[in-house]
């Protein structure tokens, strides 16, 4: 099991290893989701800790983040797969 801490909500939840983040974030956080395809950018979050426990961004996500002027720690939550371990985010 992986543990996700949502810093700005002061909450955390567990989810299975090697699973899509969105499947658990929708029930356990108030992160806004829109297109769920990495296109609208509404789900941008900051990875505070544990980026090594996530899938790396694919080229399309990287391009979208660049266009949005994202900082290096930011990702699109709808594009995340959690590998394992501890991850801390804020949004
Ligand atoms: S929900 Fe649209 S980019 Fe994530």
Q: Where do the domains of the chain lie?
A: 2-90
pLDDT of residue 3: 98
What is the predicted pLDDT for the residue at 79? 98
pTM here? 0.96
Q: Is the CB of 38 under 6 A from ligand 1?
A: yes
What residue owns the CA closest to ligand 1's atom 3?
A: 38
47 lines ligand 1 (CB under 6 A): no
Pocket test for ligand 1, best of 35, 61, 63 (most atoms within 8 A of CB): 35
Burial of 62 (0-12, 13-18, 19+ CB in 10 A): middle
pLDDT the model gives residue 12: 98
Which portions of the chain are predicted below pLDDT 70?
none
Residue 29, pLDDT score = 98
The dihedral formed by the CA atoms of 10, 12, 18 and 19, expressed in degrees to the nearest 10: -80
Rounded to whole angstroms, how far apart are CA atoms 73 and 87?
Answer: 12
CATH number of 2-90: 3.10.20.30
């Amino acid at each position: 099991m992986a543990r996700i801490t949502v810093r700005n909500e002061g909450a955390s939840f567990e989810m299975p290893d090697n699973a899509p983040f969105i499947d658990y974030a929708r029930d356990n956080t108030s992160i806004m989701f829109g297109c769920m395809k990495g296109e609208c950018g509404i789900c941008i979050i900051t990875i505070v800790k544990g980026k090594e426990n996530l899938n790396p961004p694919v080229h399309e996500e990287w391009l979208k983040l660049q266009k949005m002027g994202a900082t290096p720690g930011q990702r699109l939550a709808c594009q995340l797969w959690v590998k394992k371990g501890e991850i801390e985010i804020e949004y």
